[in-house]
Structure 1
Amino acid sequence: MSKLLNINNYHYPRGGSDVVYFRHAEIFGEMGWNNAYFSMHHPKNVQSEWSQYFVDELELGHQYALWKKVLMAGKVVYSFEAQRKLNKLLDQFQPDVAHLHCIYHHLSPAILPVLKARGIPVVMTAHDLKLACPAYLMLNKTGICEKCSDGNVLNVIKHKCIKGSTLASAIVGAEAWVNQQLNTWHDNLDAVVVPSKFYIEKFVQWGMPRERFHYVPNFVEAGLFEPTYQVGDYFLYFGRLSWEKGVPTLIRAAAKAGVKLKLAGTGPEDAQLKQLAADLGADAEFLGFCAGEKLHNLIKGARAVVLPSEWYENAPMSVLESFALGKTVIGADIGGIPELLRADSTGWSFPSADVDALAARIEEVSAMPDAKLNDMGRQARQLVEQEFSKQRYMEGVRDVYARLGVH
């Protein structure tokens, strides 16, 4: 029986990458693999027999004494605690492969040399751009940022790329510099699974070896989604309410096009966005956080879903889930979004941050015959079933493992 060590900062479904961490382990468990987990203690954690090896909780945003924050900052840069506890886990569980998800800031890249020293193949899923960008999003308050592509991580501090904070940015900058000097990522990472082709090209542009990256698209289990191909009279956005998601652009475009807009989600700019909609006289309804059946019903009732992002999205699940529910998507031509869309088949793209172009696209879809949108919804569902299935994900990852001699 093959043995898989799953590693992630959080051991509860906090966000999309954490859900992938659990589903990945479940898929290989279903195939007969033996799973172990390495993570961080947290009050919301799912119970695990491996929790005795988890590192102490570390959240710099919490209120701690100054000395404790200094200690935590050191762990962000390079965690010796994570190294010690991982070594203890490895004394009990000798995996055939370790698969990492999000590990920075909490577990830290310090765990990679531990795995390498034991001869364990190390695979990581790139849920974001951290391998290239110290701030992991190639984004700051000025917009898209690639200033660190020359290797000068001082830009992180200069531009306060982490939450607009000099201190937080300095800590992350130090983390990037230390691991840059130690070649932590380069010397200890055997393969990287990437859900979007765009991210692979971006990593290569930043000087990383193309052969280390492997395209394995995200998946949805279509059988869990009951599609509706009839279309409604509103356009829908669901996700975080923040500027980098392009929500202000969407509100302006919807007001210009004179269409009904529904927004499901919360975020730091909730109040400002509501005021913007009121000032423009937009027919916009803010629904707050929605999930599960409530969100699915909103998607199924829409005319189309809009994803107006203004940052380098990876391979957003919102597109695939909309397709699974029989809905087309209007998406910004940025990051990995365009590669998920098939023009006039499953959706349309528009130039990111272009209000007039988005308004024109919304007007076009608003005037389109229902029968045309119904047919496109069926094509979207078919695309998910064929190209973004759990089977394809499993085969893709197994192929990566096999290249490292793990079967």
Structure 2
Amino acid sequence: MSKKVLIIAHGHPEFNKGGGEQAAYQFYQECLNQGDDAYFLARTSVTPHGGAAFSTIKNEREILFHTTHDDFFLFSNIKTRHLWGDFADLLDQLAPEIIYCHHYFLLGVEMMKIIKQKLPNTKLVLTLHEYYAICNNAGLMIKTGGQNKLCFESGTRECNSCFPDKSPGDFFLRKKYIMSCFEVVDKFIAPSAFLRQRYIDWGISPETIHVVENGQLENIASEAMLLNNNKVNIVYIGQINSFKGIDVLLDALLLIPKESRQQFCIDIHGANFDSQPSSFQEKVYAQLKKLKDVVRMHGSYEPIELASILSVANWVVVPSIWWENSPMVIQEALNHQKPVIVSDIGGMAEKVEHNKTGLHFRAGSPVSLADTLQKVLNEPELADTLAKNITAPLSLSESYIKINKIIS
């Protein structure tokens, strides 16, 4: 049955290339495909004409919200008139029956309360793509201090040890504030069981949070590009920053003897490298210089290019050093029957079965990844063997049906 819905995201994929933005936008398109009267509201930093709170992109259904946080500790937008005034007016005009919120980052966590104050009978669904509410370190659940140690639990004293400028009391009040905004949410969606359990441990009721993977577009087969080599082709796709493990991958390649290393062709497709800290850029550039015959950096890509990028791959690699939740690239790789090499933690280990649909290696360890890459060379039939075990991940239509059953 057709219904009026609003999908809210912290960015529009036209400007922001992250997996969460893409998942939200694809869900919006699926709502339209299912016959819903759907609208997409995306936060943006693009300067609006005349200082307006809203503008549109592509069509009147895709709305840009020109706003940002006042307080990045609380994810608060409480001082800004746009969220309290203009946003409430927009809700009043659209009057959706269901609001699917895919984030509160850069929007303001108070958004949840405003929605329920203005539209108390509207069902509010929040997809938790990250661990921002749990962890003040960019939601990574990694200890500060530069050693990239994984964090296994949150707590006022533990968080204070990472951020000594904030007292344990500050973290206690932070959690209380965010929880008060979460209390008005009708249902939470977790794209992985790992993330769901993390939020249950943090305090969300198990009855309100459900696991539904990010749905994938139908796989339209792309004609494989002709390869002019007999090398093992491995593809990295995603953001490029210090937590995605690109440097771990490059260090692993440098540990492999040169004659073996040259049997690989590594293609890296990703955005935002130029905006990373100079120390990280310098490290990667130095690694790339030593690996110029093996590794190619391609820069950012558009979703429409994904099929052709994956068509040349024997393997996809996801070497992140943080827990991750449900990296879109894993679902995309499996959707194209490509086995995946992943770090053995978080949503990555959950989504890829070791020695069945891919391979695990010890997170953050170039030595372990080098051993895994050597295994790939030693067993040239392994990629095809594992590819045969892969079943298609959840489709967009299937995820749409599951979510709507949960909220019905």
TM-score by length of 1: 0.79
Q: Work out the CA distance in 2 between the residues paired with 1:56 and 1:130.
A: 21
Q: Secondary structure at the match of 2:154?
A: helix
Q: Please point out which of 118, 126, 140 is paired with 1:124.
A: 126
Q: Please point out which of 353, 357, 361 is paired with 1:350.
A: 361
Q: Work out the CA distance in 2 between the residues paired with 1:49 and 1:175.
A: 41
Report 1:41-52 matches (<5 A).
Answer: 43=46, 46-49=57-60
Q: Secondary structure at the match of 1:86?
A: helix
- How much does 1:275 deviate? 0.3
Q: Please point out which of 379, 396, 405 is paired with 2:402.
A: 396
1:85 aligns with 2:96: no
Percentage identity across aligned positions?
Answer: 20
- CA gap of 1:78–1:202, structure 2 versus 1, over 3 A, is farther
Q: Is the 8 A contact 1:312 1:335 kept in 2?
A: yes
Q: Is the 8 A contact 1:236 1:304 kept in 2?
A: yes
1:34 corresponds in structure 2 to 37
- CA gap of 1:76–1:115, structure 2 versus 1, over 3 A, is closer
Deviation string, structure 1 residues 172-206 (Cα, Å, up to 9, x no partner) = x9899467247433421221111111101111222
Q: Is the 8 A contact 1:55 1:85 kept in 2?
A: no
- CA gap of 1:347–1:12, structure 2 versus 1, over 3 A, is closer
Q: Please point out which of 124, 129, 138 is paired with 2:141.
A: 138
2:53 corresponds in structure 1 to none
Q: Secondary structure at the match of 1:379?
A: coil
Deviation string, structure 1 residues 67-88 (Cα, Å, up to 9, x no partner) = xx89xx9963554531222321
Q: Secondary structure at the match of 1:188?
A: coil
Deviation string, structure 1 residues 237-291 (Cα, Å, up to 9, x no partner) = 2333333112222112122233223323351234421202445898333333344
Q: Work out the CA distance in 2 between the residues paired with 1:80 and 1:20.
A: 29
Report 1:1-400 matches (<5 A).
Answer: 1-13=2-14, 14=16, 15-40=18-43, 43=46, 46-49=57-60, 55-58=65-68, 76=77, 79-105=80-106, 107-117=107-117, 118-119=119-120, 120-134=122-136, 135-139=138-142, 140=144, 141-144=146-149, 146=151, 149-151=154-156, 155=160, 158=163, 177=173, 180-181=176-177, 183-226=179-222, 232-257=231-256, 258-259=260-261, 260=264, 261-266=266-271, 267=273, 268=276, 269-278=280-289, 283-292=294-303, 296-370=307-381, 372-380=382-390, 383-384=391-392, 387-400=393-406
Note the residue ranges of structure 1 that are not aligned, 5 or more in a row.
Answer: 61-68, 160-165, 403-407
Deviation string, structure 1 residues 364-406 (Cα, Å, up to 9, x no partner) = 1112133x422422433xx12xx4222321122112221xxxx
Structure 1's consecutive aligned runs of 4 or more residues displaced over 6 angstroms after TM superposition are 173-176
Deviation string, structure 1 residues 87-120 (Cα, Å, up to 9, x no partner) = 2123223222211112233x21222122223322
Q: Secondary structure at the match of 1:221?
A: coil
Q: Is the 8 A contact 1:2 1:96 kept in 2?
A: yes
Q: Is the 8 A contact 2:109 2:178 kept in 1?
A: no
Q: Is the 8 A contact 1:232 1:303 kept in 2?
A: no
Deviation string, structure 1 residues 154-188 (Cα, Å, up to 9, x no partner) = 739826xxxxxx8xxx8xx9899467247433421
- CA gap of 1:43–1:224, structure 2 versus 1, over 3 A, is farther
2:50 corresponds in structure 1 to none
TM-score by length of 2: 0.79
Deviation string, structure 1 residues 22-77 (Cα, Å, up to 9, x no partner) = 2212212222222234444654962453688x65444x8xxxxxxxx89xx99635
Q: Secondary structure at the match of 2:95?
A: coil
- CA gap of 1:374–1:110, structure 2 versus 1, over 3 A, is same
Deviation string, structure 1 residues 202-243 (Cα, Å, up to 9, x no partner) = 112223222221100122223334375998523332333333
Q: Is the 8 A contact 2:160 2:171 kept in 1?
A: no
Q: How many residues align?
A: 374
C-alpha root-mean-square deviation of aligned residues, in Å?
Answer: 3.5
Note the residue ranges of structure 2 that are not aligned, 5 or more in a row.
Answer: 48-55
Q: Secondary structure at the match of 2:234?
A: strand
User: 1:388 is aligned with what amino acid?
Assistant: L
Moved more, 259-268 or 25-34: 259-268
Q: Work out the CA distance in 1 between the residues paired with 2:25 and 2:349.
A: 27
Q: Is the 8 A contact 2:192 2:326 kept in 1?
A: yes
Q: Is the 8 A contact 2:249 2:366 kept in 1?
A: yes
Q: Is the 8 A contact 2:39 2:62 kept in 1?
A: no
* Higher helix content, 1 or 2: 1
